[in-house]
Structure 1
Amino acid sequence: MGNCWGSTPVTNHNSPSATKPSTPKTSANHSKENGPGGRSSSDRKEKESDVRIGMYVENKDKDGTARTPPSGQVMAVLGPKLFTLAELKIATRNFRPDTVLGEGGFGRVFKGWVDEKTFAPAKVGCGMAVAVKKSKPDSSQGLQEWQSEVKLLGKFSHPNLVRLLGYCWEENQFLLVYEYMQKGSLETHLFRKGAEPLPWNVRIKIAIGAAEGLSFLHTSEKSVIYRDFKTSNILLDGAFNAKLSDFGLAKFGPLNGNTHVTTRVMGTYGYAAPEYVATGHLYVKSDVFGFGVVLLELLTGLKALDTNRPSWQENLVEFARPSLSDKRKLKKIMDPRLEEQYPIKAAVQAAGLILQCLESDPRSRPSMEEVLETLKKIDDTKDVSKDSKGSAKKKAAKRQEEHCRHQSLLQSRHGGTGNKVRAHSSAHVGPYQSTGARRPLYFPNHL
């Protein structure tokens, strides 16, 4: 499905470089001010080793034995470039406010330009557009998430994962450089006021692409649990191909026959699996629950959690679940902006898949490979519902009736980001956006 880069950690990191950017490796030799948080050299060395994993690989014989090249140097593979802060300042015009693509708890994302071949800074409109993610200075969470992204995206290459082009660590700032995604996030297209409605076939295409990326992570040599699957982390290119982004919370899956890993509960309200919230036990299929929530958002056009809706409708899963197994009720919660232009059989199949993904017991949920297979079958269902046929006058009357019925539900979609609870709000700046700072999902029984 994709190529795995740098799957073997190395101990010799003396690979020559044409430039000498400030990175975790080089900053250990600088003064304490240049290291994050003034940690000890031993702490920094441990973190530096973590970051370098996935950036280089050893050459191996056929039997798998590591073989050092004659020069005694570790062979570098095509992977993320080590940028200097000066280079990224030039690429983004010194991080000018008008280059901001999005903003959230991690910091800001800026649009920049680099040469397509060398990745050297380029003038606006020349070369290749990139997205530069700049974390807040002196943020311990920013450092941890930065390291996680470098390790994971430095290892993996897949059409449905956002490509990490480079990274930088300098002056207590952590930066990541990604390919630029022209259409921004799925969240923007579903929930931003005035956004062009996505037709049914595009929604299914996006779901399939996201499922491809998640399935790849789950079935990689060391299974990866994404842990923060949501609409704002699904980015779209010019052809609406979906790619997963933001791997700051991703974790390697359980080892040695274990079914789960135990970790601090982090993520986003409305998407986190119930077993994870209740116990801190993270399963590979905890991601499947989040996928089911996103698929439900694609069908209904409603946010997973919105305090602007009536209290009984705030949580989309709880509100919509009873309607997913009834064809007549399902029609009532389908996104009215689809204007009934969808195959009702496919919608029913999608609703059934959502119910499977939202099973309370993770063992009862399908794998992402099974989810992907079902989505492809749904995509092959092309017959448009008979209810969508008829005169333009009947359609207009039906749309008006549907609009009135869903008026309370549409407050969120047309109300922008003004949620009452700021932890649930989204920062919308340009085509990219973030649901803000990630926070532990604290509940009274876990305090």
Structure 2
Amino acid sequence: MPLPPSHRDLEINPEDLTFGQRIGMGSFGEVYRGTWRGTNVAIKHFHDQNLSPVTIREFRDEVLIMSKLRHPNIVLFLGAVTQKNQLAIVTQYMTRGSLFRMLHRNKEVVLDPRRRLNMALDIAKGMEYLHNCKPVLVHRDLKSPNLLVDKDWTVKVCDFGLSRFKNNTYLTAATQNGSPAWMAPETLKGEPCDEKSDVFSFGVILYELVTGKEPWEELNPMQVVGVVGFSGRRMDLPTDLDPAVTNLIQSCWATNPKERPSFTQILATMNTWSELRPTAAVLEAQRAKAPQRNAAQ
């Protein structure tokens, strides 16, 4: 599946790649740490048996989209392997892994309120860049597993497999893909959506940053579709959150997409904050991890 002639310089010879340990997996295939021309990279390798026409089209779309993106809060695309049965996307390697893993699986990491705010700002800056592309680029799968953290604690948006340029007013939603716990109600219902669907997902990520909880952890994906998409429910926000944080999350979760703020407005709001203070429960849990605190500073 060769790329268009104008993008041939993005093609990587698979013989130039060295695969290391597997660092992630999904329905598409697996992600490995590796090396390319002496540089540490991440290699997103697609399973041979999953190479349906739809998968191949999404791979091509992802490559063409990522090749256009240059921003400090977007994972840097380096190239792609396009030979039959060897499809892979090669990006910069992000040392600290995903934000999801950091918040919900790595029990040793301590994130102070200032760092949590910087992470939220990084995500919003990356998304503001995408939404100001011409045409607008809607991510459609914004979630903490698709946010990667480098050695300097900078957060970068990745995984553009479901992303689309918004050439018209709306995009058609595809409910069979993506992760319901982060998705906007209009997306879950299969209705037309736009960049404000990403804003709803950002509200869920803010929820994770301040509560330390996985979204809708007590429900399975189909139940989330029902309660968020069709019953209009939202996750309960702890009463000990800063009212400004509560207000921003609730505005991101507005049922009417037009009532949700843009990322430009979100940044303007968060830039007035000095920290993103999590709940007392999160702070108490972090104090209990004090012996490991130095490792995260």
Contact in 2 for aligned 1:189/1:197 (Cα 8 Å): no
1:107 and 2:29 equivalent? yes
Contact in 2 for aligned 1:84/1:168 (Cα 8 Å): yes
1:135 aligns with one of 28, 46, 50: 46
Aligned residues: 276
Q: Which amino acid aligns with 1:264?
A: A
TM-score by length of 1: 0.56
Q: Which amino acid aligns with 2:81?
A: C
C-alpha distance after superposition, 1:332-358 (max 9, x if no partner): xx6xxxxxxxxxxxx321221101000
Q: Which amino acid aligns with 1:207?
A: A
Structure 1 portions without partners, runs of 5+:
1-23, 26-47, 57-79, 115-119, 121-126, 324-328, 335-346, 389-394, 404-447
Structure 2 portions without partners, runs of 5+:
289-297
In structure 2, what is the equivalent of residue 87 of structure 1?
Answer: 16
- Name the SS for the 1:282 alignment partner: coil
State the shift of 1:200 in Å. Answer: 1.4
1:373 and 1:200 mapped to 2: Cα distance? Answer: 18
- Name the SS for the 1:184 alignment partner: coil
C-alpha distance after superposition, 1:225-254 (max 9, x if no partner): 000000000001111111100000001114
2:126 aligns with one of 213, 219, 232: 213
Percent of residue pairs bearing the same amino acid type? 28
Contact in 1 for aligned 2:204/2:249 (Cα 8 Å): yes
Contact in 2 for aligned 1:269/1:305 (Cα 8 Å): no
Q: Which amino acid aligns with 2:172?
A: T
State the shift of 1:142 in Å. Answer: 3.5
Q: Which amino acid aligns with 2:26?
A: G
2:208 aligns with one of 297, 301, 305: 297
Moved over 6 A (4+): none
State the shift of 1:307 in Å. Answer: 3.0
Contact in 1 for aligned 2:113/2:275 (Cα 8 Å): no
1:264 aligns with one of 167, 174, 177: 174
State the shift of 1:308 in Å. Answer: 7.1
1:373 and 2:295 equivalent? no
C-alpha distance after superposition, 1:19-42 (max 9, x if no partner): xxxxx33xxxxxxxxxxxxxxxxx
2:105 and 2:81 mapped to 1: Cα distance? Answer: 32
State the shift of 1:362 in Å. Answer: 0.3
C-alpha distance after superposition, 1:208-239 (max 9, x if no partner): 11111111111111100000000000001111
- Name the SS for the 1:129 alignment partner: strand
The structure number with the bigger radius of gyration is 1
1:156 and 1:242 mapped to 2: Cα distance? Answer: 16
Q: Which amino acid aligns with 2:260?
A: R
Q: Which amino acid aligns with 1:150?
A: V
Change (3 A) 1:287 1:351: same
2:114 and 2:233 mapped to 1: Cα distance? Answer: 26
2:46 and 2:138 mapped to 1: Cα distance? Answer: 23
C-alpha distance after superposition, 1:147-170 (max 9, x if no partner): 122111111211111011111122
Change (3 A) 1:197 1:318: farther
RMSD of equivalent CA atoms:
3.0
1:352 and 2:261 equivalent? no
Q: Which amino acid aligns with 1:148?
A: D
In structure 2, what is the equivalent of residue 406 of structure 1?
Answer: none
For 1:329-348, list aligned pairs within 5 A: 329-331=238-240, 347-348=242-243
For 1:188-207, list aligned pairs within 5 A: 188-207=101-120
1:275 and 1:254 mapped to 2: Cα distance? Answer: 19
Change (3 A) 1:286 1:308: closer
Change (3 A) 1:308 1:193: farther
2:212 and 2:120 mapped to 1: Cα distance? Answer: 14
1:186 and 1:249 mapped to 2: Cα distance? Answer: 19
